[in-house]
Homo-oligomer: A and B are copies of this chain.
Amino acid sequence: MSTPCDSTLVALLHGPDQTGLVARVAGWIFERGGNILHADQHRDMQQGIFFQRVEWVPAADSTHGRANEFREFAAQLGMAVQVDSTTHRPKVAVFVSKLDHCFHDLVLRWKSGEYACDLVAVVSNHTDLAEAARGYGLAFHHIPVTAATKAEAEARQVELLRKEGVELVILARYMQVLSGDFLKNFGRPVINIHHSFLPAFAGGRPYHQAHERGVKLIGATAHYATAVLDDGPIIQQDVARVTHRHDVNDLVRKGRDLEKMVLAQAVRWHLESRVLVYGNKTVVFD
């Protein structure tokens, strides 16, 4: 899955299935001198929907223009489309509270070159991670949130995100629920990590719930945040085995590793334009 250094375009398409779509998309690119690197299609036979991720090197330096042309072409086919250039590095903000394991994990992966993005802001309702963020050379913004000030705090958050041109928010164990207003006003994707295998144990204290129920596996779920708590489109999930020997603290410790891995993978897929959302589900072109 290595990508070449040159600028390439990635399109995520979906819409009503029709004969010849693969040929038409490939033909369109070929006729304009482009070279397809990867093309992956899927058909939902039951619903009659066509999904495609296609990545190609356009001819010459016309990357920007080609992206717009392709959007028009897709619209003519009746397809919803998103086109990204691999040379564009999206601006990302990480929201944290007090727990630091996902935060360190994301930042270290970013520093090691795993993520083609710019981390432009760390936002928190607490100051616990201020020093750690600055130690990494990251801008830290303390925006306290109380029940009384939530609407105002969210307005400040959205203002900050807009000012910084943020295109993706990652909730790295941020312990506040974002309101529907925040999501609407921000208008960009927000990825959350929930510390259970959704839809089991939605809501608060999922490790306590899991211990109480006596499950033999605990899980973590990365999903896009929506206005309905823990109900957004699932991007990635994983589980780990537990036994009666593990008390709630052990579940929390084992869960930290799950959360890091699952969130890290979801973020990487999102940044590589591999996640297509439709309805309340995702198609991940891995």
Contact = CB atoms under 8 A, between A and B. Distances in A.
A37 interface: yes
A2 B245 CA distance: 9
B217 A46 contact: no
Nearest to A268: B253
The 4 closest A-B pairs by CB, nearest first: A214-B281, A23-B30, A23-B26, A200-B200
A215 B198 contact: yes
Contact of A249 (B2, B216, B284): B2
Nearest to A57: B19
A172 to B, nearest CB: 14
Contact of A234 (B23, B213, B284): B213
Interface of A: 1-2, 4, 19-24, 26-27, 29-30, 35-46, 51, 100-101, 104, 108, 112, 114, 135, 197-201, 213-217, 219, 233-239, 243-250, 253, 257, 261, 264, 280-284, 286
Contacts of A238: 217
Given A37-B43, A216-B234, 13 more contacts: A2-B250, A24-B30, A27-B30, A40-B40, A104-B104, A198-B200, A199-B201, A213-B281, A214-B280, A214-B281, A214-B282, A215-B237, A217-B237
Contacts of A197: 197, 200, 217, 239
B27 A282 contact: no
Contacts of A40: 40-41
A168 to B, nearest CB: 20
